[in-house]
Amino acid sequence: MGHALTKAFSRRSFLKLAAATGAAATVCGASGAPMALAETASEASSGSDVKRVRSCCRACGKMECGVWVTVRDGKVVKVEGDESAFHSRGNSCAKSQSSMLALYHPDRLRYPLKRTNPKDADDAGWERISWDEAYEIIGAKFNEIIDKYGGNSCLAMNGTGRIWTSTASKFKTLFGSVNQYKAGQICRGPRIFAGDMTIGRECHGIANVDDHPNRVYVQWGTACEYSNYDDSCRTIADVVARSKTRILIDPRVTAAGKDADYWINLRPGTDGALALCWTHIVIENELYDDLFVKRWTNAPFLVVEDMEPTGGWMVDDLGGINMRTRLLKESDLVEGGSYKRFMVWDNVSGGLKYWDVETTQWEDETHVPPTTGTEVNGGFLPDPSEFNPAKDPALYCPEDSPQGFKVTLKDGTEHYARPVWDMYAEMCSKYTPDYTAEVCEVDAALIEEACLAWATRPEGQTYGNGGLHYNLATDHCGNSTQTIRAIMILGAITGNFDIPAGNRGPMTAPISKDCTYNLQYKKPGPAWGSPEGGTTFDKNEKMTGSSEFPMARWFNMWSDARGIWDAVHTGEPYPIRGAVCTAGDVMSACNAEYGYTALEKLDFYVVHDLFKVPTAGPADLLLPAWHWLEMDNPRVSQGSGGAMGLCTRAVDPAGEAECDPNFVVNCYKALGKNWGDESNPWPSFEDRLNDGAVKSGYDDWESMVEEFQEHGWWDLKKVLPEDGGTYRRYETGALRCNASTSSGGKAAGMPESLGYGFMTADAKLELWPLALESYGDQGSDIRYDPWEVMLPDFKEPCCSPVSTPELFQPEGVFENETGDKTAVFNCTTGRRIPVFFHNEHRMLPWCREQWPVPRMEIHPDDAASLGIEQGDWVWIETEQGKIRQCADLTYGIKQGVVNLEHQWWYPELPQADKGFRLSCCNCLIDPMWQDPIAGNQELRCYAVKVYKATPENSPFNNPVPCGNDGTEIIHDSSDPRLKEWMPVDGGEEQA
């Protein structure tokens, strides 16, 4: 495939760019942004047509930073920070400023392409075709597969969406399939999953833009200073600077954590044990918020262990569940009693009282949202409401009856009922600092001192010192669902949920569900939350992997990745023969090699993307997508910042590139199915933009853009003060009436109000998760005892020195079969890199100059024992595969641990897979290493053998990774091939 490099930028311009940015640049403020593609001011002609467009950056897919885009003579020449974006504070990082390099890259896809060579060929023999021909092929091939094998034989794949929308669910509907491969299974999804299970929404987002007066900043397994949700990244530097105490929980030192007061460098995969230890310390020192725990969690609810689970239909964030629970209810005690009334033992009256989910009220009480409170950080913090009349739900069993309170069920049998809190406190009591120190390989005194520094409030402070900032590492750490729940509960019981600088989760926004964010027109059907509509659990009965992970059927965000690839490889439980991928990445979840070979086996496979990425290697059709600088689309904060803005088109799309929404709608048309209503069966993207703008209170999209250009970002604290501008929203009803998994918007058809509390089935923050109890035992091959997972206990990762000691032997340095000095390490992976976002930007010259190769971090003492020096290439090996990365010696990593970079591939290699097998750490994992509840892969805690790469033990006698034909990868910033990636205008022929 060739490119006519007409109108290309000069080499002189490219070198000016490199000189202006500097090889060590990471994050720049607006005032320091480089000119990028622009010539110097003196070279610009006086007659140039220059405009500045206010927009929202998508260079990393998470931050939603506000940016100004400068366009000269129809070409983007500069991206810099927008001062109106309070969440990003006028900053613009390296990834953002390099966006022009992707927009005008000579290898960018601009026209539809069709494969002409076999799928296992290095050269696909791409042939340019028209969109009409592409859609004709799509319609014929997918309909043929569906007619032969059924809708479940087709798969939708989606990663971090280019325009912040999930196309996978739309293709599921198109195919009539229950299966979708989503990066969410290993990225953010597990936190949303655990959040929905615990509070009816995600809550890991921490309100970093809040200005807490006594902030303790806890950075738990995340390098959010580089890329993580809308109010992290550069903003986190301000948070860290103003905090009184800083705590880092990570096997490696992060940039933001390098000056931490406490560094808890725990063994990878033991985060859950540490969270339970901190919970134990909090309980022992009575540092928990007693009123919150009793009033707004199900901690005082009573468990009758020897009672058959009972219940019925209950509304929750995902619509509804058919509840079956051993929690004591009025219906268990008396005939005609309500199963929606949950019982507690009241110490004041000396008897049973109930919480009524139907009314979201305590017995004999009418909850009135508090009107008194404090103005904090531009928002209103209501005072906590007391029980009225007075109640004191018991958290512990009576001293004279440690087995619980004696109750008589309606059948006349006597049983003991035990508060959930009593069971949880007993479980946590095992995790003393001394015991946990052995598990985590951390000093016991350090664990306790750090916990007390965070959990002890100053005198008179009515809320916690700050939320727990946990992110991607907890999604990957083994027993992730229980780890995340333990951390979430810990933060909430210490007064750090929905408070200033606390864990808030996303906010409601007027555009988040009505504009193109959701894409799909509302179609007639059963009312939201009604039993007539059935549960997602019932509808997903045939989802791949659900026999092992039944909770995925309830959550309905992903199908297990390994289960999908199993179905492709084996045809069981049914064959998967077709797939479409938009912004997806086979290197993200499961074993990358296992997934890639599955893609090669598909009868028909379509990829819609910007470049020839590894996932596109086996594609039959390769279709061009819009870049964010060519896109119009609304945007709402993913995190707790509460920013709302627009991605505004700066330039017209290149060639015949098509946006994701139109691609989806046109696929519906190609398969002969309507997207919208009868009057407009295939609405254009512009139709939906205008429709969403009208629903947001504007005449049309253009008028919404005009206001954004003039006034900048909207602050949801001011736009919707009852939600974004109010804390403790469980007191006011704002949480219970706003279902919000990823966008913060209300679900279609949801009532205006469902009362107070949380959007869980019992309207409480659930230490005892009703969804898990109701559905967690419904798989034939589940990996846990359903009873034992009801409380978030710690479980060793599938691969660890404890669970698989044989993989960590022999200890110390030994000689492998080729005589090389080798040692076994516990590895962690997935750190953020300043110039890359997961697998993106490997082909951008500025980014690659700064970070040419993947780096394996290793402690200098460990490296010395293996004869490894800074910059050496090293082999990293497991039973599943072996890769090479470049040694980076640092004292900022725990001895015995190495850190691997993830999702590396090499665009410079002339082969279909782009060399991902050479360095992608997910080629090393066992597909069976999975969280037992959610199914997400364990990516950060497993044994690897490490030894130095030498000419003698390397292909082509070259320690540097090489392609199939011996071509070296780019491994030095002076490589002349970087100059071949100089930008072009766009619109060139592709042959």
Mapped onto helix, strand or coil, the DSSP state of residue 245 is: strand
Cβ pair 205, 639 in contact under 8 A: yes
Closest CA to 767 of 36, 270, 194, 369: 194
Cβ pair 97, 79 in contact under 8 A: yes
Closest CA to 326 of 222, 420, 435, 259: 420
Q: Using CA atoms, how far apart are residues 372 and 257, in angstroms rounded to an integer?
A: 38
Phi and psi dihedrals of 625, rounded to 5? -115, 165
Catalytic (active site) residue 95: yes
Unique residue bearing structure tokens 């140039």: 48
Q: Using CA atoms, how far apart are residues 62 and 643, in angstroms rounded to an integer?
A: 13
Cα distances from 491 to residues 102, 254, 269, 602, 948, in angstroms, run 40, 22, 20, 45, 43
Cβ pair 346, 352 in contact under 8 A: yes
Strands 216-220 and 245-249, bridge-based pairing: parallel
Closest CA to 629 of 37, 39, 18: 37
Q: Which amino acid is at 134?
A: A
Task: Locate 692 and state its tokens.
Answer: 């969403």
Give alpha helix (H) positions in 464-608: 472-476, 480-493, 536-539, 551-555, 561-570, 592-601
Helix, strand, coil content of the chain in percent (nearest 5):
25, 20, 55
- For residue 416, the surrounding DSSP H or E stretch is strand 414-419
- For residue 103, the surrounding DSSP H or E stretch is helix 99-103
Q: Using CA atoms, how far apart are residues 696 and 648, in angstroms rounded to an integer?
A: 17
Q: Using CA atoms, how far apart are residues 583 and 159, in angstroms rounded to an integer?
A: 5
> What single-letter DSSP state applies at residue 642?
-
Cα angle, residue 162 at apex, residues 11 and 740 outer, rounded to 5°: 150
State the catalytic residue, choosing from 62, 75, 95, 170. Answer: 95
Cα distances from 869 to residues 538, 901, 953, in angstroms, run 56, 18, 17
Q: Using CA atoms, how far apart are residues 569 and 989, in angstroms rounded to an integer?
A: 38
Cβ pair 491, 707 in contact under 8 A: no
Count Cβ atoms below 10 Å from residue 971 Cβ, excluding itself. 16
Cα distances from 60 to residues 229, 582, 982, in angstroms, run 10, 16, 21
Cβ pair 491, 485 in contact under 8 A: no
Buried-state track 55-77, b at ≥16 Cβ within 10 A, e below 16: bbbbbbbbbbbbbbbbbbeebbb
Mapped onto helix, strand or coil, the DSSP state of residue 485 is: helix
Cβ pair 836, 853 in contact under 8 A: no
Cα distances from 488 to residues 205, 384, 474, 797, in angstroms, run 11, 20, 11, 20
Closest CA to 730 of 499, 500, 502: 499
Cβ pair 300, 294 in contact under 8 A: yes
Q: Using CA atoms, how far apart are residues 458 and 156, in angstroms rounded to an integer?
A: 51
Closest CA to 176 of 578, 560, 601, 609: 578
Count Cβ atoms below 10 Å from residue 699 Cβ, excluding itself. 11
Cβ pair 162, 625 in contact under 8 A: yes
Q: Using CA atoms, how far apart are residues 79 and 55, in angstroms rounded to an integer?
A: 10
Catalytically active residues are: 95
